[in-house]
């Protein structure tokens, strides 16, 4: 895990006895003086009458704490920068402070119009020599901008700043500016010339034009480059916008050169203090310190409090600078392994989502098959090498038998879907999705003896429903080994992967599966919308490998993996950052449901894992990955 929140967050909260900071204190930026750390932060007042606005309003000042010994515990706050000039008369916000040449340069957002307009939101600068008094103030930008910061060292004998341009008149750009001398920082003519071609000075950090971006913490100098931690807001112009924190690495001698950047946020609103507040669901990086290979990241939470998180610099750099070719599952054949057979009405429309098990030197597949009237049954096939079929049954191996899986709406989807197989003792258990077309799909369970299975004598036990009624529940399997004397069943009754422990697999005398929300989607990632298991876990000497599918806003199904602890499989050791498999071929991108790879079966044969998957909900494919390579991926993705 790259980032860990401080357990005692928030580190700074509003104080009711100070009206100037009684509503909110947030977006703090630290600065070191000797062996002490000060925190400079935005303070939002209670509503009061403002004579210039001729109305009651909340006003932002900039506060400062007493020096802290550890950069965590801050006390004794006071007002430090207050609105004085016409260009800041309605508030001073979001300070960024840098020490250079024995001076403290504090850039902040200055508000000069009310109601607030883009033209009245600019960058101001306060300079202090002792963090006690302000020696001078200047208006910096004659245009809309925010979040400016000074680099902590000269680069090529010049002063360098970084700022967000057109923050309130998007699209915003993160830009660089360099100066020969301090006075140029507030030279209006310099900035007018610069703004005429500001895009020339911008950094290419946006993943998507629908997103918004803003400078976060002042750049940190590391041996790898200048580390820029910034705010990245996905889908900014929609109700579903997501505030996240990302990072980029800039060249030490040429900051315009982006060496690397993250592809997804490493911090999003999750904790209560980030989800509830003056403006909910915000994490906003505002300052950072580097101490012994650990970054102290200070951020605003819900525009209400100051919080702290810790980032392991070597792990972050390893992720950013990873140069090796991504390891992924490779397709074992150029064409699908199984396609619909028009000669067999029960599998004439689609063959997809196979469960798999390795027995007696063969891979055995139980796959979902659909007829033209959208009834799903299970077919059977096997393979000695795991890649080429040796046998495919002309008759179904399993058909709907109970009321909960038999068609109630003519022509509608119904039947048995997405089987997953687990061998326990001499029985093979099959979890599958049962659907009658009217009620929500539910998890059903049946079993067959290993002897009958190998003999293709389909004497399946009477199926039973094991998930709760009136809840959509899918993607289920039984863990291959007991956990604390109980059976561990994995399923999905929402957007998460759920876990449940049951004393018996005889569900006639037990309750429905519990919904313990175990593995969640990751906001802003490739698996941001929902996740579900692919196949029963595979045991290795490093842990249990759990393959899972994830879906993002683009509605593409991709495959990832999670490493579970050997002794306590509920404990997650690592989770892959990037997808291991995604739709690429025509038969995966176009079908009944486009852009889907959906494995339900996986087996380990010698040194490889073989996955069997549905492509675009219409055909079946097979892909492989060396186990050693997959385990190596987990080394850089530990939680």
pLDDT at 180: 97
Residue 171 banded pLDDT, cuts 50, 70, 90: very high
Percent of the chain's residues with pLDDT above 90? 93
Is the model's pLDDT at 638 over the cut of 90?
Answer: no
Among 357-371, 493-507, 604-618, which stretch is predicted with the lowest mean pLDDT? 493-507
Is the model's pLDDT at 387 over the cut of 90?
Answer: yes
Residue 587 banded pLDDT, cuts 50, 70, 90: very high
Is the model's pLDDT at 639 over the cut of 80?
Answer: no
Which ranges constitute the DSSP H helices of 271-342? 272-275, 313-320
DSSP type of residue 338:
B
pLDDT at 526: 96
Is the model's pLDDT at 324 over the cut of 80?
Answer: no
- Please tell me the distance from the alpha carbon of residue 153 to that of residue 165, in angstroms, as a whole number: 22
Q: What are phi and psi of 89, to 5 degrees?
A: -65, -20
Domain extents in the chain? 3-320, 342-634
Is there a common fold for 3-320 and 342-634? yes
Give the dihedral of Cα atoms 36, 37, 40, 41; nearest 10 deg. Answer: -140
- Please tell me the distance from the alpha carbon of residue 365 to that of residue 453, in angstroms, as a whole number: 11
Strand partners for 464: 445
- pLDDT tens digits along 415-457: 999 999 999 999 999 999 999 999 999 999 999 999 999 999 9
Which ranges constitute the DSSP H helices of 248-306? 272-275
Is the model's pLDDT at 473 over the cut of 70?
Answer: yes
pLDDT at 1: 67
How high does pLDDT run on average in the chain? 96
Domain spanning 342-634 has what CATH number?
2.115.10.20
Is the model's pLDDT at 509 over the cut of 80?
Answer: no
Is the model's pLDDT at 167 over the cut of 80?
Answer: yes
Give the list of residues 6+ apart from residue 14 with CB closer than 8 angstroms, or none.
Answer: 21, 22, 23, 24, 25, 44, 304, 305
pLDDT at 334: 94
Nearest residue to 151 via CA among 224, 231, 96, 81: 96
Residue 5 banded pLDDT, cuts 50, 70, 90: very high
Give the dihedral of Cα atoms 608, 613, 615, 617; nearest 10 deg. Answer: -170
Is the model's pLDDT at 397 over the cut of 80?
Answer: yes
pLDDT at 496: 96
pLDDT at 636: 79
> Residues 351-360, buried b or exposed e (16+ Cβ, 10 A)?
bbbbbbbbee
CATH class held by domain 3-320: mainly beta
Count of CA atoms in the C-beta half-sphere (13 A) of 314: 5
- Calculate mean pLDDT across residues 526-555: 96
- Please tell me the distance from the alpha carbon of residue 176 to that of residue 165, in angstroms, as a whole number: 10
Strand partners for 252: none
| 3-state class (DSSP) for residue 319 | helix
Provide DSSP, 425-456. TTEEEEEEEEE-SSSPPEEEEEEEEHHHHHTT
């Amino acid at each position: 895990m790259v980032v860990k929140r401080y357990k005692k967050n928030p580190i700074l909260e509003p104080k009711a006895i100070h009206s100037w900071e009684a509503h909110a204190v947030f977006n703090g930026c630290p600065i070191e003086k000797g062996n002490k750390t000060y925190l400079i932060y935005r303070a939002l007042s209670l509503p009061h009458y403002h004579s210039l606005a001729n109305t009651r309003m909340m006003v932002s000042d900039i506060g400062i704490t007493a020096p802290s010994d550890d950069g965590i515990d801050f006390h004794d706050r006071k007002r430090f920068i207050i609105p004085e000039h016409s260009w800041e008369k309605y508030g001073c916000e979001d300070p960024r402070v840098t020490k250079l040449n024995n001076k403290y340069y504090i850039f902040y957002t200055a508000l000069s119009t009310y109601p607030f307009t883009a033209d009245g939101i600019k960058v101001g600068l306060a300079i202090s020599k002792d963090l006690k008094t302000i020696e001078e103030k200047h208006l910096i930008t004659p245009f809309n901008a925010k979040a400016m910061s000074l680099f902590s060292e000269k680069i090529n004998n010049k002063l360098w700043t970084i700022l967000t341009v057109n923050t309130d008149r998007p699209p915003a750009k993160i830009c660089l500016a360099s100066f020969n001398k301090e006075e140029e920082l507030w030279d209006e003519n310099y900035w007018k010339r610069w703004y005429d071609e500001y895009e020339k000075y911008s950094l290419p950090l946006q993943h998507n034009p629908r997103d918004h971006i803003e400078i976060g913490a002042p750049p940190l100098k590391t041996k790898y480059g200048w580390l820029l931690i910034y705010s990245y807001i996905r889908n900014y112009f929609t109700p579903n916008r997501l505030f996240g924190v990302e990072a980029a690495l800039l060249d030490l001698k040429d900051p315009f050169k982006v060496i690397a950047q993250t592809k997804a946020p490493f911090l999003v609103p999750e904790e209560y203090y980030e989800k509830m507040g003056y403006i909910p669901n915000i994490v906003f990086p505002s300052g950072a310190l580097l101490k012994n290979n650990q970054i102290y990241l200070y951020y605003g939470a819900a525009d209400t409090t100051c919080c702290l998180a810790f980032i392991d610099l070597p792990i972050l750099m390893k992720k950013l600078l990873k140069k090796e070719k991504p390891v992924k599952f490779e397709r074992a054949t150029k064409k699908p392994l199984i396609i619909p057979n028009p000669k067999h009405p029960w599998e004439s429309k689609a063959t997809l989502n196979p469960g798999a098990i390795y027995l007696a030197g063969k891979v055995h597949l139980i796959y979902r098959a659909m007829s033209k009237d959208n009834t799903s049954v299970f077919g059977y096939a096997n393979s000695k090498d795991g890649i080429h079929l040796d046998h495919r049954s002309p008759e179904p191996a399993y058909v709907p038998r109970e009321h909960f899986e038999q068609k109630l709406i003519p022509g509608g989807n119904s039947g048995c879907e997405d089987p997953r197989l687990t061998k326990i003792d001499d029985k093979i258990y099959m979890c599958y999705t049962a659907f009658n077309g009217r009620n929500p799909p539910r998890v059903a369970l049946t079993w067959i003896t290993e002897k009958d299975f190998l003999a293709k004598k389909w004497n399946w036990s009477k199926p039973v429903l094991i998930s709760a009624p009136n809840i959509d529940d899918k993607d289920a399997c039984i863990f291959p080994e007991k956990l604390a004397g109980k059976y561990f069943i994995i399923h999905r009754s929402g957007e998460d992967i759920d876990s449940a422990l049951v004393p018996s697999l005889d569900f006639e005398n037990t309750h429905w599966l519990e919904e313990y929300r175990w593995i969640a989607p990751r906001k802003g990632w490739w698996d941001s919308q929902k996740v579900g298991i692919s196949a029963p876990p595979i045991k290795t000497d490093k842990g249990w490998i759990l393959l899972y599918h994830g879906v993002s806003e683009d509605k593409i199904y991709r495959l990832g993996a999670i490493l579970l602890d050997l002794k306590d499989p509920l404990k997650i050791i690592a989770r892959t950052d990037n997808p291991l498999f995604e739709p690429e071929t025509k038969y995966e991108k176009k079908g009944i449901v486009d852009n889907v790879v959906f494995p339900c079966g996986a087996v380990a044969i010698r040194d490889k894992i073989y996955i069997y998957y549905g492509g675009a909900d219409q055909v079946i494919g097979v892909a492989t990955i060396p186990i050693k390579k997959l385990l190596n991926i987990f080394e850089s993705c530990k939680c």
